[in-house]
Amino acid sequence: MKVVIASGKGGTGKTTVAVNLAWFLANCGRKVQYIDCDVEEPNGNFFISAHFSERIPAFVMLPAVDQQKCTSCGECSSKCRFNAIVRLPGNTMIFPELCHGCGLCLLVCPTKAISEDEREIGIIERGMGWGGISFVHGVLNVGEPMPNPLIRKVKEQGLADHIQIIDAPPGTSCSFVETISDADLVILVTEPTPFGLHDLKISVEVARARGRSICVVINKDNGIFRPLEKFLEERQLTITARLPENRKVAEVYSEGNILLEELPDYRAHFSSIAAEVFRQSENLMHSPMGVLP
């Protein structure tokens, strides 16, 4: 089962919810895998205390031009939608950071002068954390603009017989879409401010358009924020938990520690989130396509 923890706005507490939900489920005796898809800024490993046993370089395909066979006809550069190939007299140049690896240039080249090489864009690290949690994350190389191919490869490491807790990148653009594309449950973490609400609205729209099941966790809760309550009611969204605002939570987070160990009062909230996860997995079991840990 795949549970994605996401939020439009950064810093609402995605990682806090993901890590503590993983802790809670592991303590319930479930097989848990933590998958950190925030490949631009991966942090989950600090909290899960992951010891890595494997480092796998992640590659994308990059065209290579055989200048001997190339007639500088310009077909490839005129067809490439990403301006990743430029024809110069006697030389056809590739711009790796612009290339999407679509392979169209290979198809259009009349002299078959283009082949493909692999190009490293980051690494995937796999290992184990506390409580027998299996851990995997991707680390995008600094200077690489496109995280999506790496996110795809990180998700391929998912173990079908585990509850996969997937930490999504912030934002609501293509990398978020990629992360939630096959989620069984999307937990949206928000905060009761105009910022949190604005970004939540967009995330809900994307997740609904993708046909995902959604529930909402309100973090840094400090009393009713009417506009948020109104929106949730209108869209018939379930509030699974409200985590009270507390400076101590921020302090525990700052050290990379586990909230539920340091402040046991929060366990009740996570038992509601875990219950929602179990409820969704029940639904899955009864659906013909369901795969259950």
Minimum CB distance to another protein smaller for 93 or for 174: 174
Angle at 37 between CA 95 and CA 51, to 5 degrees: 110
Contact residue for another protein among 63, 122, 138, 169 (CB under 8 A): 169
Does residue 95 touch another protein according to CB under 8 A? Answer: no
CB 135 within 8 A of CB 48: yes
Contact residue for another protein among 87, 100, 126, 267 (CB under 8 A): 100
CB 214 within 8 A of CB 237: yes
Minimum CB distance to another protein smaller for 90 or for 223: 223
Minimum CB distance to another protein smaller for 178 or for 184: 178
Contact residue for another protein among 51, 69, 198, 230 (CB under 8 A): 198
Residues forming a β-bridge with 92: 87
CB 1 within 8 A of CB 292: yes
Contact residue for another protein among 70, 202, 239, 263 (CB under 8 A): 202
For another protein, which stretch binds (CB under 8 A), given 48-56, 104-112, 232-240, 282-290? 104-112
**Scanning the structure block, which residue is given the tokens 């494997």?**
54
Does residue 211 touch another protein according to CB under 8 A? Answer: no
Burial class (CB in 10 A: 0-12, 13-18, 19+), 90: exposed
As measured in angstroms, the least distance from the Cβ of 79 to another protein is 7
Residue 163 identity (one-letter amino acid): I
Contact residue for another protein among 206, 237, 239, 263 (CB under 8 A): 206
- Provide the b/e sequence for 187-200 (b: ≥16 CB within 10 Å): bbbbbbbeebbebb
Phi and psi, residue 19, nearest 5°: -65, -45
Phi and psi, residue 204, nearest 5°: -60, -40
* Cα–Cα dist 3/33, whole Å: 10
Does residue 86 touch another protein according to CB under 8 A? Answer: no
* Cα–Cα dist 131/212, whole Å: 29
For another protein, which stretch binds (CB under 8 A), given 125-133, 159-167, 175-183, 280-288? 175-183
Provide the sign of the torsion angle of the four alpha carbons 269, 20, 10, 248, taken in this order.
positive
Minimum CB distance to another protein smaller for 129 or for 281: 129
Minimum CB distance to another protein smaller for 109 or for 163: 109
Angle at 210 between CA 37 and CA 135, to 5 degrees: 20
Contact residue for another protein among 114, 140, 154, 273 (CB under 8 A): 140
Does residue 34 touch another protein according to CB under 8 A? Answer: no
Using CB under 8 A, list all residues that contact another protein. 8-12, 15, 40-41, 43, 46, 79, 81-82, 100-104, 107-108, 140, 142-147, 169-177, 181, 191-195, 198-199, 202, 205-206, 209-210, 220, 222, 225, 245, 247, 250-251, 253-256
